[in-house]
């Protein structure tokens, strides 16, 4: 009797523990979009995205529903995972042999994942040579590893210069003539500065706020050349980049590191974005920053322009990121998964996505079609963003030195803080990155 | 002369003994076995959890540290390559180690001393002391990320409460999280804020110090200062020892603070907040170099192990265990 009860309790504890495990392991919240009875006899695909916001979720779920209704063989189930979790969960799922069928992943690290065998080579499923012609060539380049595609571009973004027209008028500047060159940018910025005593009430412009960091500015300075060429040639220590870095430092010197820090520390939530609050006159950000201006900066009079170029005859180089649809390694139904990816990156779905989110989509035709569905400011910003793709470079993570930027950033930080000479910093960065690529 | 009855009784007893003996033995054995079995069954949840979730992965990571494991495709034995790269080819490894040692070297003594001081202050018998105890303990129960975000505001260079308070005394506060010279001190200051957890331990042990000793000291005319250093401190050394050992280990594990409080979790200005574990995390999950990250983890383990052993060795000389086996 006693033994039986001991056994019984032990088994109960064990069961409880197992149940506890399985309960907590069921991490992601699964939400089926559509009628579950419609799944019978179909291949069910698990689709992971991080689009759970009020604005994006309904859009992606409508696209999924449309796909589910459009054919009888495949049923796609959408699973939302928070941005901070999705890729580490994917990694764990791949190594456990139970990955999602399709996932939205970062566009700049496709090669890195391909090299590490985390994604499926799609060349087998892309029978049609014209398929790649649907997408902007620069985006398509990012998904190739050893000339085979490992993902399909979904959306992208590009940096633009937003400027406050009201502040322009106040400073005696023509609100319809945004700065075209670095010199103009600086001259305008000085005019837009507003000081009371030693304190800035408004800073006209500071290049490193918003989303155009030192690597982007140095690329802009060096005629669109990033730190690494396509063949992993290190091009950090160039005369143009040196000039660019000195120029960035000159902003710190003029405005004062303290003022820069003080302003920056107060950039908190979206509602208090300093550009929208009128504390900064010009601001570099992705095109979708416009939705923040629209939602939080009621009736703000703003304009949008391409990035200023280093000189009058240089191009207005900008840079971009974005996301791809990918089939993780070991997914069970790659053929069906690719069918879904084809739909996701097809004209209809992409046009819908673009017109709802003002997001640059990867599909060229859709990108242009969406324009006709927009009007007013929506159209102005979206058109500027689409045009800007011509001068937008991508910055793929090199598969051989995925963390090469960690070697450069601290040196650039040191220059900006006045702790290192620009010449020395670039020289050191050049040799450090060369070394790490040799390994 | 043995009667028939007696001999019969003896035989019976002998027979009984013969039978009874093995039966009894068998029973004892099976009882022990059964107890063993149910013992194991009772601890089986822990046992399974330990072997499957701790010991297994631990040994796995030791092996992995000698391979080029990248989680998804490679796992070739590369000997001590990872360790070699760590010591000779990765400058950031040394940066991260230095940052971590700096943090540990300052935060452990400061938080320990802070906790003791606070506990002594809160050990006074004055009305309303419970309220103060609660107030000082509160920060210890607040959860991590929210606290870090709060401190980012407090440490804001121009409008933050810390610099505003300093300005009342005519001190111009530093840019804290933006100035590489001040980032680590900023984190140490933040850690000081939550000494309430350690304070609670000290408070409990302070109240366990026998009053007789203080009375004896009073009779001998000892000052408050002497009483503190010759009675209070020695009597709470076991707790100080425990606190130092655990906070040393915890100090080496610092990760979240830097991950949350620096832009993109990349280690702050000029890598001044690139702590050991942050670097390791980046190597494992950004670069997928799990072999290297495991090697780093094992090296950290060795550092912590050595320090703890030293601690235990030296502990004998200054930790006073009241009563029992003193050496």
Per-residue pLDDT reduced to its tens digit, B244-286: 999 999 999 999 999 888 877 778 888 999 999 999 999 998 8
**pLDDT truncated to tens, each residue of chain A (439 aa)?**
455 565 566 555 555 555 544 443 334 444 444 445 456 788 999 999 999 888 889 999 999 999 999 999 999 999 999 988 899 999 999 989 999 999 999 999 999 999 999 999 999 999 888 999 999 999 999 999 999 999 999 999 999 999 999 999 999 999 999 999 999 999 999 999 998 887 888 999 999 998 899 999 999 999 999 999 888 899 999 999 999 999 999 999 999 888 888 887 777 555 578 899 899 999 999 988 898 888 888 889 999 999 999 999 999 999 999 999 999 999 999 999 999 999 999 999 999 999 888 889 999 999 989 988 888 888 999 999 999 999 999 988 888 888 888 889 989 999 998 889 999 999 999 999 998 887 6
Pairing label, strands A392-394, A194-196: unpaired
A432: chain B residues, CB-CB within 8 Å: 91
* Contact residues, A window 233-272, toward B, CB-based 8 Å cutoff: 257-258, 261-262, 264-266, 268
CATH architecture of structural domain A28-157+321-394 = 3-Layer(aba) Sandwich (3.40)
A28-157+321-394 and A159-320+400-438 have identical folds? yes
Nearest to B286 among A95, A402, A413 (CB): A402
Please indicate if any CB of chain A lies within 8 Å of the CB of B91: yes
Q: Which residue in chain A has the smallest CA separation from B261?
A: A265
Burial class of residue A266 (count of CB atoms within 10 Å of its CB; 0-12, 13-18, 19+): middle
Q: What is the largest CA-CA distance in chain A?
A: 95
Residue from A260, A410, A419, A439 to probe the interface with B (highest B Cβ count within 10 Å): A410
Q: Give A297-301's long-range contacts (Cβ < 8 A, gap of 24+).
A: A300/A164, A300/A166, A300/A276, A301/A164, A301/A165, A301/A166, A301/A175
> CB A413 to CB B269 under 8 A?
yes
CB atoms A17 and B49 under 8 Å: yes
* Cα B300 to Cα B295: distance, rounded to the nearest angstrom: 9
Give the C-alpha separation, A268 to B150, whole Å.
12
Using CA coordinates, name the residue in chain A closest to B178. Answer: A261
Count of CB contacts below 8 A, A vs B? 105
pLDDT recorded at residue B91:
86
Tokens of B317: 């000389």
Are B72 and A439 in contact (CB < 8 Å)? no
B178 part of contact set with chain A, CB < 8 Å: yes
Checking ipTM against 0.95, whether it exceeds it is no
Q: Per CATH, is B81-318 categorized as 1.10.3720.10?
A: yes
Nearest chain A residue to B282 by CA distance is A403
- Nearest CB to B288: which of A6, A116, A266? A116
Q: What is the pLDDT of residues B50-85, one digit of tens each?
A: 999 999 999 999 999 999 998 888 899 999 999 999
Chain B residues with CB under 8 Å of A410 CB are 267, 270-271
Q: Is A209:A280 a contact under the CB 8 Å cutoff?
A: yes
Which 3 state secondary structure label does DSSP give A102?
strand
Distance between CA atoms of A314 and A224, rounded to whole angstroms? 9
CATH topology of domain A159-320+400-438: D-Maltodextrin-Binding Protein; domain 2 (3.40.190)
Q: Return d(Cα A376, Cα A364) in angstroms, integer.
A: 22
Q: Are A80 and A103 in contact (CB under 8 A)?
A: no
Tell me if B72 and A432 make a contact (CB, 8 A cut-off). no
- Phi–psi pair at A241, nearest 5 degrees: -70, -35
- CA distance to A164, A392, B3, B8, B29, per residue, from B14 (Å): 110, 102, 16, 10, 22
Closest chain B residue to the Cα of A406, Cα to Cα: B266
Can you state the angle between helices A239-255 and A422-438, rounded to 10 degrees? Answer: 130
The alpha-carbon gap from A403 to the nearest alpha carbon of chain B, in Å, equals 7
A158 token code pair: 């590009």
DSSP assignment letter at B223:
-
A contact test, residue of B45, B270, B280, B281 with most A CBs within 10 A: B270
State whether residue B41 sits within 8 Å of chain A by CB: yes
CB contact under 8 A, B271 and A410: yes
Domain regions of chain A by residue span: 28-157+321-394, 159-320+400-438
Beta pairing partners, A234: A228
Tell me which residue in B70, B266, B270 faces A116 most closely, judged by beta carbons.
B70
Q: How far apart are CA A413 and CA A409, in angstroms?
A: 6
CA B216 to chain centre: 36
**B73 at the A interface (CB within 8 A)?**
yes
Listed residue (B241, B275, B237, B270) closest to B259, CA to CA: B275
Which of chain A's residues have a Cβ under 8 Å away from the Cβ of B162? none
Q: What is the mean pLDDT of chain B?
A: 87
Nearest to B250 by CA among B178, B194, B176: B194
- CB under 8 Å to A219, separation ≥6 — which residues? A225, A226, A227, A317, A319, A393, A395
Residue B139 neighbours by CB under 8 Å, 6+ apart: B147, B193, B194, B196
Which run of H or of E encompasses A284?
A: strand A282-286
Q: What residues of B are in contact with residue A94 (Cβ under 8 Å)?
A: 71-72
Nearest to B41 among A7, A118, A264 (CB): A7
The answer to whether B315 and B237 are in contact (CB under 8 A) is: no
Looking at the complex, does the CB of residue A3 fall below 8 Å from at least one CB of chain B? yes
What is the Cα–Cα distance from B41 to B59, expressed in whole angstroms? 24
């Amino acid at each position: 009797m006693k033994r039986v009860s001991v056994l019984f309790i032990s088994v109960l504890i064990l069961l409880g523990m197992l149940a506890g495990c399985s309960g907590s392991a069921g991490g992601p919240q699964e939400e089926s979009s559509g009628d579950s009875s419609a799944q019978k006899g179909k291949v069910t695909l698990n689709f992971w995205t991080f689009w759970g916001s009020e604005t994006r979720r309904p859009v992606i779920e409508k696209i999924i529903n449309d796909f589910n209704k459009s054919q009888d063989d495949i049923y796609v189930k959408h699973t939302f995972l928070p941005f901070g979790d999705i890729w580490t969960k994917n990694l764990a799922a791949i190594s456990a042999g139970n990955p999602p069928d399709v996932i939205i992943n970062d566009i700049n690290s496709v090669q890195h994942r391909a090299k590490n065998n985390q994604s499926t080579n799609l060349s087998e499923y892309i029978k049609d040579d014209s398929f790649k012609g649907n997408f902007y060539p620069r985006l398509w380049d990012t998904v190739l590893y050893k000339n085979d595609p490992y993902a399909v571009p979904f959306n992208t973004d590009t940096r633009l210069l937003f400027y406050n027209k009201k502040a322009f008028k106040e400073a005696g500047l023509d609100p319809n003539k945004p700065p075209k060159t670095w010199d103009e940018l600086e001259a305008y910025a000085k005019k837009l500065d507003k000081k009371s005593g030693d304190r800035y009430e408004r800073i006209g412009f500071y290049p490193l706020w918003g989303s155009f960091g030192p690597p982007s500015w140095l690329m802009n300075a060096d005629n669109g050349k990033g730190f690494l060429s396509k063949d992993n040639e290190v091009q950090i220590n160039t005369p143009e980049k040196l000039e660019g870095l000195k120029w960035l430092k000159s902003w710190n010197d003029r405005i004062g590191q303290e003022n820069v820090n003080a302003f920056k520390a107060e950039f908190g939530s979206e509602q208090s974005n300093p550009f929208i609050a009128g504390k900064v006159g010009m601001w570099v950000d992705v095109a979708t920053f416009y939705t923040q201006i629209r939602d939080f900066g009621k009736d703000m009079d703003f304009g949008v322009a391409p990035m200023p170029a280093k000189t009058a005859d240089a191009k207005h180089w900008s840079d971009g990121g974005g996301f791809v649809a990918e089939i993780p390694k070991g997914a069970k139904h790659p053929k069906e998964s690719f069918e879904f990816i084809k739909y996701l990156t097809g004209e209809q779905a992409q046009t819908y996505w673009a017109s709802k989110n003002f997001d640059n989509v990867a599909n060229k035709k859709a990108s242009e079609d969406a324009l006709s569905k927009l009007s007013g400011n929506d159209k102005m910003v979206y058109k500027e963003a689409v045009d800007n793709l011509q001068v937008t470079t991508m910055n793929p993570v090199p598969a051989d030195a995925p963390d090469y930027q960690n070697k450069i950033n601290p040196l650039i930080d040191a220059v900006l803080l006045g702790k290192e000479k620009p010449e020395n910093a670039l020289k050191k960065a050049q040799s450090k990155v060369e070394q790490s690529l040799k390994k | 002369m043995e009667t028939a009855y007696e001999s019969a009784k003896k035989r019976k007893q002998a027979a009984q003994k013969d039978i009874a003996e093995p039966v009894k033995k068998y029973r004892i054995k099976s009882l022990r076995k059964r107890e063993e079995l149910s013992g194991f069954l009772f601890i089986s949840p822990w046992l399974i959890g330990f072997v499957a979730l701790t010991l297994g992965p631990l040994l796995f990571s030791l092996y992995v540290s000698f391979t080029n494991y990248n989680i998804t495709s490679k796992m070739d034995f590369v000997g001590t390559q990872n360790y070699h790269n760590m010591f000779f080819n990765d400058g950031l490894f040394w940066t991260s180690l230095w940052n971590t040692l700096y943090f540990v070297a300052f935060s452990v003594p400061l938080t320990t001393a802070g906790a003791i001081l606070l506990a002594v202050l809160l050990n006074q018998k004055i009305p309303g002391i419970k309220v103060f105890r609660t107030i000082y303990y509160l920060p210890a129960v607040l959860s991590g990320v929210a606290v870090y975000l709060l401190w980012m505001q407090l440490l804001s260079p121009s409008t933050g409460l810390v610099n505003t308070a300093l300005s009342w005394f005519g001190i111009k506060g530093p840019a804290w999280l933006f100035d590489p010279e001040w980032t680590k001190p900023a984190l140490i200051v933040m850690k000081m804020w939550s000494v309430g957890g350690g304070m609670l331990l000290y408070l409990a042990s302070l109240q366990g110090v026998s009053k007789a000793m203080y009375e004896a000291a009073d009779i001998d005319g000892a000052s408050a200062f002497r009483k503190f250093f010759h009675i209070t401190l020695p009597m709470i050394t076991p707790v100080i020892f425990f606190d130092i050992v655990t906070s040393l280990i915890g100090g080496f594990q610092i990760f979240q603070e830097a991950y949350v409080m620096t832009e993109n979790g990349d280690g702050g200005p000029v890598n001044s907040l690139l702590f050991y574990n942050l670097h390791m995390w980046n190597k494992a999950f950004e670069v997928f170099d799990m072999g290297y990250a495991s090697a780093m983890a094992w090296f950290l383990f060795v550092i912590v192990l050595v320090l703890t052993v030293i601690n235990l060795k030296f502990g004998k000389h200054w930790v006073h265990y009241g009563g029992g086996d003193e050496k």
